Structure 1
Amino acid sequence: MDQEQGRTAPRGHARTKSNTSVGSNNPSKLRHTRSKSTKKLDSIYSDEATIAFIKRTLCAQQLTGPEGSRARNTSKPLSELLPPLTSSNQVDLQLYALISIIIKDFVQAWYSRITPDQQFTDQVVQIIAHCTHALELRITAVDLEALIFDELFELIDVHVTAYRTAHSGSYTSFLVANPREIYHAINPHPALSPVPFEAGSLASLDQAENEAAWRQLLIQGVLSHLLPPEDLNNPPLRVLVTEIFSELIIGRGVCGNICEGWFIWDVVSKLLAILRPSGSDVLQQPPISPNRLEKFGLLADDSDDAEEPPAIARRCPVDALSSVFLQVMQYAFLAFISLRAFFSALSDAASLPPRTNNSEDSMHGELDDSGSLSQHSTRDSPKRPILGMSLWSCCSHLLSLDLQMPWLTTMGAYIQWLLICSSWKVGCTNSRLDRLLSHHIHTKILDPTRLPSILLLIRTNMFPNNSLGPGRVPPTPEEAMELRARCAASIIAALPPIVVKQVFAKRGEEEVQKQVEEMLETFGDAYLNKHLVVAIVDLVVVRLFPELAEQRIQVS
């Protein structure tokens, strides 16, 4: 622990130097600073450093012994020293890194003062490994496609609607109410009541107690279906594992900084950077300085532009006609290539397996006001089609298309109805288009190979320098606004230019940036975000443990 704390000061010093260098105009110095910080991060979070950190923390007793046996044990892979957590070695590596941080700072910090024996730590690791194995089996039985793209986006849609109603309703009355109180009345949760108006008040303390009680009851219900009876009958281990999951993972992690707006904006930017192809980094090069353009005579004088006619007017009519013809041919060729790729993909989708084993290969339903397909969810009913999931209505509400361009929302809802509910049945469940979309979702988004990178991103943000410590220092309001602007720029860069031009219906880039930042402000209040996070936790737990849906959990 002393070694980890000793690394904190140089890291903060390097970060200060990096911030100073960013403000300079020397590109070589900026590249040198970035490469230096990148090498330092690689030395901490590389696989070799992570394996050494895990062995020091969790395998200290197995590595002790004579010099020769110690060298042999040190060279052993983790699969021979620790029980497997999942079916993937890369996922196990990142999970064991998170477990090592928790064990080091939460268990060994006080247990090593009592006895040097590591048997208690080994039992805790064995229990966690048993829980992760049982969780993996339950995750494979969950429909992740419907959970993420339908139910999760439905919760986000409810959050966006409640947020905008709370903030719009607070200005329509002479008796102005607190937006938090209006939001909590629309979207209540027992763990988040009463509404904490000020930090340190009685309402804030009562809300913290209710939230802690909710976490304890939730984890106890989950562990009752994960742990074997002999571990449940061991009070010290059960209490310790409950505290680790409820206080550290859910309390400090899920309900902590994750609920902050600046944290969400930063994570979205980094996730988009992970999902973006590697070749797109070329687009992030800084623009060429005007001074360099003037140096090579490529920048005209502004005084001459006011007197000279536009370039299009000076062109010959034949040249203008030929440029228009070439542009039309370009768009026609692009449309031909796109349609050819789409229809060839549809023809190949005939060989894809169906999304459901039900004999019914279609779904009939009604589109509600939000544009989603309304259906009573039963276990025997076929899956909801991809085009009828809540993803599309949530994106429409996030972009405020129903307010800015209601004609586009109406047209999209009508096309959605034609594809799903009409006699065409082009987008119904298990149609070719539906199977094609499901195939791309599983291969491009739900790819298991992306999970280690996401877990590494969680570890670097929640536990910087492989330690609990003080965590990340909350940014100032100015820095938070910069994170929001960076997140908006990442979202705009991830969208095709034609989509940005048509959807946002703006002329200038600044107006598009401003509109996306206003959309991101929906996640700016930490207390309101906690409603969304708590609802997501409840949803995931109920989907993983359907037995808990029949049990009523009340917070006293």
Structure 2
Amino acid sequence: MPSKQESLDGVMDQETARAAPRGHARTKSNISIGSNNPSRPKHNRSKSTKKLDSVYSDEATIAFIKRTLCAPQLAGPEGSRARNIHKPLSELLPPLTSSNQVDLQIYALISIIIKDFVHAWYSRITPDQDFTDQVVHIIAHCTRALEQRIRAVDLEALILDELPELINLHVTAYRTAYNGSYTSSLVADPREIYHAINPHPALTPVPFESGSLASLDQAENEAVWRQLLIQGVLSHVLPPEDLNNPPLRVLVTEIFSELIIGRGVCGNICEGWFICDLIAKLLAILRPPEPDVQQQPPTSPNRLEQFGLLADDSDDAEEAPTVTSRSPVDFISKAFWQIMQYAFLAFMTIRAFFTALSDAASLPPRANSREDSTHDELDDSGSLCQQSTHDSIKRPILGMSLWSCCSHLISLDLQMPWLTTMGAYIQWLMICSSWKVGYTNSRLDRLLSHHIQTKILDPSRLPSILLLIRTNMFPNNSLGPGRVPPTPSEALAIKTKCATAIIAAIPPVVVKQVFAGAGEEEVHRRVEDMLDAFGDAYLNKHLIVGIVDLVIVKLFPELAEQSISSILKKEDGQ
């Protein structure tokens, strides 16, 4: 006799199969972005792509979530079960965020964790689903609290200023470690040099060999760091009655610390090939979709050409003698039209720029951050001065660390120091001089902030990013063995693909100016050399751990004011 779960799976599979012929639109999976042409006919798609679409489509995802998290609602009488099957998730499960599409992807991740981490042992004890419902409601409470805190975070400063600063420090420490290890006859290990420059208690001591005593000590310190971090976060997002429930708190702590941070964030994400693959896919998501180019029908020939009344230009071209020299009139005419084209292009560019600046006058000003923070700013003399204010002024977009990070990544300060110096001088003129064209809340600053908010920080891109995370961390909606690490040749191919995606995302004019005089192969080689800074998994873990610490402190500034142990003691005392 089939079990309750098997019969429930059969009902959901039959319902999904019946829903497909009715014309329900299947959502195209975003995992193949950048690899499949959207204008390609459907019958040319490979079987593997169709299989992935069937696994990660919205209909299949909803069916998987209902099978895993809504078993009590779907295990009732026949009439109520049929009604619950057709109900949307918003009526069966508590909301996680303010977006249904984001909730769908987050619930898919929760379903994978509950299925493989909770049901694997809890179903052997009892068939009761109340414990699973409690875990889901606790996670929903945490996500709603996190959403409120995310709304209060300055995402512009976090993504364009603070995260690039961490990347800049990582690249500097990496180059110092690998370049400085050859300056002495007693060669030191680059990992040890890097860790001395950029230390972290969770990554101590340096594991020189896998399986050694130092490696085991480092893994233990990393596990303790994850536990303390998640416990400090849960102390601010969990309700008091759930926080005082030790079994529930331990289970949620294990889910977040071991599965999400331990297995996901500090796992394959730290590998160099994974970072290259992730960069390529993110660039594919951020790039605007290519328009569908439909095949135009062949144009009918002109009636004069049809009856042979027009001369054939190809025959004339073959019979005409090759002209090896041009007259001065032709040279002057060509130069004149080139000058006119460049002048028209410059006029249209300047016109569009000033039109955009005039429209930026109606844009709202950027709100000042309400945190007590210290900023390094340039005074009129060009020296750095520190200002600490209660209502600190946001840094202008042109003064953020993103630009210096990009310059450092491509070694522009070493290849073209004059260009770096000129860029820094222009930056100073636009921000700190009497012009203040790019100062905070100027028209240019508001215009740049508006485009960043609408094109880069667009919330509609979040479901695609969550789907990308799910497909990479949990292939086929299961923990499983994960992605098989590629061979060295496959990792090199992934890095080459990432370099191609980076070059394609940069305007050709910028590529031509930055890599002046370099051919296509040389440009690819330089970009691949830039990606070598993310080739060591242990060094990348310093960067990932630093990013996690930064994000947690931004979301929970209380953790920066006092230690996690003192917070937990206060909660236990209450």
**Normalized against structure 2, the TM-score is what?**
0.83
Q: 5+ residue gaps in structure 2?
A: 11-34, 294-313, 315-321, 566-574
Q: Which amino acid aligns with 2:108?
A: A
Distance 1:373 1:231, change over 3 A: farther
Q: In the alignment, what sits opposite 1:11?
A: none
Would you say 1:44 and 2:51 are equivalent positions?
Answer: no
Q: Is the Cα–Cα contact under 8 Å of residues 368 and 394 in structure 2 kept in the other structure?
A: no
Distance 1:469 1:317, change over 3 A: farther
Distance 1:314 1:56, change over 3 A: farther
Please state how far the C-alpha of 1:35 moved relative to its aligned partner.
3.7
**Normalized against structure 1, the TM-score is what?**
0.85
Q: In the alignment, what sits opposite 2:392?
A: 381
Give the counterpart of 2:247 among 233, 236, 239.
236
Q: Is the Cα–Cα contact under 8 Å of residues 372 and 389 in structure 1 kept in the other structure?
A: no
Cα distance in 2 for residues equivalent to 1:91 and 1:262: 27
Residues 202-351 of structure 1 mapped to structure 2, 5 A cutoff: 202-279=213-290, 314-351=325-362
Q: Is the Cα–Cα contact under 8 Å of residues 203 and 221 in structure 2 kept in the other structure?
A: yes
Q: In the alignment, what sits opposite 1:111?
A: 122
Would you say 1:130 and 2:141 are equivalent positions?
Answer: yes
Q: In the alignment, what sits opposite 1:26?
A: none
Distance 1:373 1:114, change over 3 A: farther
Cα distance in 1 for residues equivalent to 2:434 and 2:248: 59
Deviations 1:187-233 (A, max 9, x none): 00000010001100111000000000000000000000110110011
Give the counterpart of 1:175 among 186, 193, 198.
186
Q: Is the Cα–Cα contact under 8 Å of residues 232 and 564 in structure 2 kept in the other structure?
A: no
Q: Which amino acid aligns with 2:247?
A: P
Q: Is the Cα–Cα contact under 8 Å of residues 95 and 103 in structure 2 kept in the other structure?
A: yes
Q: In the alignment, what sits opposite 2:534?
A: 523
Cα distance in 2 for residues equivalent to 1:271 and 1:427: 29
Give the counterpart of 2:479 among 443, 447, 468.
468
Please state how far the C-alpha of 1:323 moved relative to its aligned partner.
3.6
Q: Is the Cα–Cα contact under 8 Å of residues 372 and 393 in structure 1 kept in the other structure?
A: no
Give the counterpart of 1:446 among 457, 460, 479.
457
Please state how far the C-alpha of 1:327 moved relative to its aligned partner.
3.1
Please state how far the C-alpha of 1:525 moved relative to its aligned partner.
0.7
Cα distance in 2 for residues equivalent to 1:469 and 1:374: 53
Q: Which moved more, 1:58-67 or 1:465-474?
A: 58-67
Q: In the alignment, what sits opposite 2:92?
A: 81
Q: In the alignment, what sits opposite 2:501?
A: 490
Cα distance in 2 for residues equivalent to 1:373 and 1:131: 41
Q: Which amino acid aligns with 1:42?
A: D
Distance 1:41 1:206, change over 3 A: same
Distance 1:358 1:252, change over 3 A: closer
Cα distance in 2 for residues equivalent to 1:476 and 1:527: 18
Q: Is the Cα–Cα contact under 8 Å of residues 376 and 384 in structure 2 kept in the other structure?
A: no
SS of residue paired to 2:290: helix
Please state how far the C-alpha of 1:408 moved relative to its aligned partner.
0.4
Cα distance in 1 for residues equivalent to 2:385 and 2:339: 42
Cα distance in 2 for residues equivalent to 1:191 and 1:224: 21
Deviations 1:441-487 (A, max 9, x none): 10010000000000000001111100000011010111111011000
Deviations 1:17-65 (A, max 9, x none): xxxxx9xxxxxx9996744332221111110000000000000111112
SS of residue paired to 1:365: strand
Would you say 1:366 and 2:359 are equivalent positions?
Answer: no
Distance 1:230 1:508, change over 3 A: same
Cα distance in 2 for residues equivalent to 1:367 and 1:484: 42
Q: Which moved more, 1:204-213 or 1:269-278?
A: 269-278
Please state how far the C-alpha of 1:505 moved relative to its aligned partner.
1.8
Please state how far the C-alpha of 1:553 moved relative to its aligned partner.
5.2
Q: How many residues align?
A: 501
Cα distance in 2 for residues equivalent to 1:239 and 1:511: 53
Please state how far the C-alpha of 1:552 moved relative to its aligned partner.
3.0
Would you say 1:190 and 2:185 are equivalent positions?
Answer: no
Please state how far the C-alpha of 1:538 moved relative to its aligned partner.
0.4
Would you say 1:437 and 2:448 are equivalent positions?
Answer: yes
Q: In the alignment, what sits opposite 1:18?
A: none
Deviations 1:325-360 (A, max 9, x none): 33333322222211111110000011111112599x
Cα distance in 2 for residues equivalent to 1:485 and 1:324: 40
Cα distance in 2 for residues equivalent to 1:531 and 1:393: 21
Q: Which amino acid aligns with 2:355?
A: S
Cα distance in 1 for residues equivalent to 2:326 and 2:476: 61
Cα distance in 2 for residues equivalent to 1:215 and 1:333: 59
Find the structure with the greater CA-based Rg. 2
User: What is the RMSD computed on CA atoms of the aligned residues?
Assistant: 2.7
Deviations 1:359-385 (A, max 9, x none): 9xxx993289xx997644544111111
Would you say 1:534 and 2:545 are equivalent positions?
Answer: yes
Cα distance in 2 for residues equivalent to 1:357 and 1:552: 28
Q: Is the Cα–Cα contact under 8 Å of residues 154 and 369 in structure 2 kept in the other structure?
A: no
Distance 1:197 1:367, change over 3 A: farther
Please state how far the C-alpha of 1:324 moved relative to its aligned partner.
3.6
Residues 419-430 of structure 1 mapped to structure 2, 5 A cutoff: 419-430=430-441
Identity, in percent, stands at 80
Would you say 1:394 and 2:399 are equivalent positions?
Answer: no
Q: Is the Cα–Cα contact under 8 Å of residues 377 and 387 in structure 2 kept in the other structure?
A: no
Q: Is the Cα–Cα contact under 8 Å of residues 312 and 320 in structure 1 kept in the other structure?
A: no
Distance 1:239 1:367, change over 3 A: farther
Q: Is the Cα–Cα contact under 8 Å of residues 193 and 207 in structure 1 kept in the other structure?
A: yes
